[in-house]
Amino acid sequence: MPAVAVKKKSAGLLSSQQQHPGKKTMSAAASLEDAEDEKVFLERSVEFSEEGDQLMQKRQYVKALQFYEQAKKLMPKGHELSSSVDANRAECYLLMNRHADAVSAASDALKMNAENAQALVTRAKAYVSTQNETRAKKDIAQAHALVPDDAQIKQLHDIIHGIGNGKTPAGLGGMNLAPSSKKKGGKMSAAEIQLEQQRKMRLEAEQRQKMQEHLRQNPSQAPAIHVKAKLGDDTRVCVLSSAIGYRDLVTTLTNKFPDAGQFTIKYTDEKGELRPLQTREDFQIAIHWTSVRLSKLETPSLAPPCVKLTLVELAKIEDMAVLDEDGKPVGLPPNEVVEIDEWILDFAALFREHLGIDAEAHLDFHTDGLEKCSEALEPTKTLEESNGPDGILSEASKKFQEAAALATFNWGNVHMCSARKKMDGGREPPAEEGGNPGAAIASAANFDEVEKELATAASRFEAALEIKPDFVDASTALAQRRYERARLLCAAAGLSGPDSTRKPEKGHDPKKRTAEAEQEFSQAVDEYRAALKQLPDEPPKTPKTAEELEAHEQAVKEAQEKGEDPPVLDEPTMRAQVLVMLGNTLFEQSQMRARIGKEWKSVLEEAVENFKYAGCNQTDIEAALKVHKGNLMEAAAK
């Protein structure tokens, strides 16, 4: 609690010491206690400062600043170390492109120690970024005088004193455009005009080279610029980093116009037309065209150069008239969000469940790719880091490749879903009363339509492989398409469904369709085996203990009682899924061979081996074998 000053009432009153004889002793004890507290606070302040130093080395500037702020609060007032803490705060602000805060913190450091070279250098850099060339030169000259042997300070000193060659800044981001050298007494000749243009171009090139060199040595110091934003009749100015991201730009403008609703941002292009500003690159283009316009001015303006942005406020929902006088919809504005029909959402859920895939994975890759591109354009990244063989842009390319391949693959799966739906003939009755349903029945009633859907699906999967040749999912999907077509051909040949009802589809040659089905099954098997070779080997699974199996059974029972989906004991790997699909293909092929009187047991045995390798439950395997056509035919013959 702060001390309260009390005015003396009268000279005749007793002094404080006369009224309280023991106060002197008490004050001495309090002073000793205060000194102990001050020592503790100082030690804690130093610890916070050291924590901040470590975070600075890790480039975690926001967290480092928080520790420096705590160190400043605990630092005893007037202590010599406070200058160092303020200098570190200034460095943090500078690396975060908060140049005004950097100047303020550096000034606090210099109030305590006017010879703090670190604070002088930091403030000089901040002044450079805000185009305050005179003060930047003064600070860096003072720092150079304090430590003349420091190579980095000397280099920065030479750069700052070389900028502009003493001329008044007239461009953006510290880009100095030389004033026109037009003769006062008359017009310039064509040759003089050409020489003048060449001189300007040379000066601009030298300036750009110096600035690029400066940014390479100080990558976080993108030049600051003035932005003049206009929303209706309201115009406001702010100073921003020329490398500011789009989201940060929107946040800054929102803070400048707190009463505004949602808005879009536009800039003026080279033709004077308004163009939408939606990315960091658009903002850079806006800066470029502003620089071009300023360079054409014969007399530079005394006001700071500004990038002019126009904000267009979007209509508020509460102001929209979406119903007419009768309460009927009048139509939504062009940019209004439209509700997605329920059937689309249902289809999306069915799509994911039926195929066992993540239908939105490509969106994650797309987002990652965009983030990589933005990262590569950051001024802190070198050319090698961005454009190298294993650089950030190479990673972005891979992400977009994944996104494109996945999207095309899922597009093909839509046609596979359509084909399966059109050839779905239900299931055979259970082999025994109360048992599991029999095998799935394929129908050839829509033969031509299913063929068309399967052909389209194949073209999509092949396109996905062209985008990403090692895309195993697409290779597997092509094999699965052959399996589905083989089932369709079996149905056309009369080899699908119960023996009492199955018959060849009208207009199809059973022998021809059977031979085609045999070929499709064999090719599907070959393609599945080829896909398995592309997958990495997996270590054998450790058998589950009795306790684990019992716990899983209990969890399944509880889920069934609640009407929920039972938990899976082990999530199947990609190899396990392919093995199951290969087993299903061999299983169906063996059924077809049994019906046409060919050898089928060896094919079925191979199918069972693949089911076991995939980790399928033995009970499920035995249930499938009970309804196998070959086994049923043998049992009926006995």
Q: In the block, which residue shows the tokens 């199918």?
A: 607
Nearest alpha-carbon partner for 231 in 319, 305, 314, 288: 314
Residues 221-271 have pLDDT tens digits of 566 778 889 988 888 888 887 777 788 888 888 888 888 888 899 998 877
**What residues does CATH 3.10.20.90 cover in the chain?**
224-315
Spatial distance between the Cα atoms of 235 and 520, rounded to a whole number of angstroms: 71
Higher pLDDT among residues 327 and 509, named by residue: 509
Q: For residue 619, count other CB atoms closer than 10 A to its CB.
A: 8
Please report the pLDDT score of residue 400 as a whole number: 77
Phi, psi of 370, deg, nearest 5: -65, -40
CB neighbour class for 138 (10 Å; exposed up to 12, middle 13-18, buried from 19): middle
- Return the sign of the alpha-carbon dihedral for residues 30, 35, 36, 37: positive
CB distance 604 to 632 below 8 Å: no
Query: 15-24, 120-129, 183-192, 327-336: which has the highest mean pLDDT?
Result: 120-129
- Name the amino acid, one letter, at 107: S
Query: 32-36, 607-611, 617-621: which has the highest mean pLDDT?
Result: 607-611
pLDDT band at residue 182 using 50, 70 and 90 as cut-offs: very low
Q: In the block, which residue shows the tokens 């171009």?
A: 201
- Name the amino acid, one letter, at 603: V
Spatial distance between the Cα atoms of 415 and 7, rounded to a whole number of angstroms: 92
Pairing of strands 263-268, 274-276: antiparallel
Residues 391-446 have pLDDT tens digits of 777 777 777 788 888 888 888 888 988 888 888 877 776 656 555 566 778 888 88
User: 35-176+202-217 has which CATH code?
Assistant: 1.25.40.10
- Return the sign of the alpha-carbon dihedral for residues 40, 41, 46, 48: positive
Mean residue pLDDT across the chain: 75
Q: In the block, which residue shows the tokens 């960091």?
A: 280
What pTM did the predictor assign? Answer: 0.44
Higher pLDDT among residues 507 and 334, named by residue: 507
CB neighbour class for 294 (10 Å; exposed up to 12, middle 13-18, buried from 19): middle
Least confident of 48-52, 309-313, 490-494, 502-506: 502-506
Nearest alpha-carbon partner for 306 in 237, 368, 365, 373: 237
Higher pLDDT among residues 16 and 74, named by residue: 74
Please report the pLDDT score of residue 5 as a whole number: 35
**What residues does CATH 1.25.40.10 cover in the chain?**
35-176+202-217, 400-538+573-637
* Superfamily of structural domain 400-538+573-637: Tetratricopeptide repeat domain (1.25.40.10)
Residues 575-611 have pLDDT tens digits of 888 888 999 999 999 999 998 999 999 999 999 998 8
Least confident of 207-221, 265-279, 569-583: 207-221
CB distance 380 to 219 below 8 Å: yes
Q: In the block, which residue shows the tokens 């993540």?
A: 358
Spatial distance between the Cα atoms of 495 and 497, rounded to a whole number of angstroms: 7
What's the CATH fold of domain 224-315?
Answer: Ubiquitin-like (UB roll) (3.10.20)
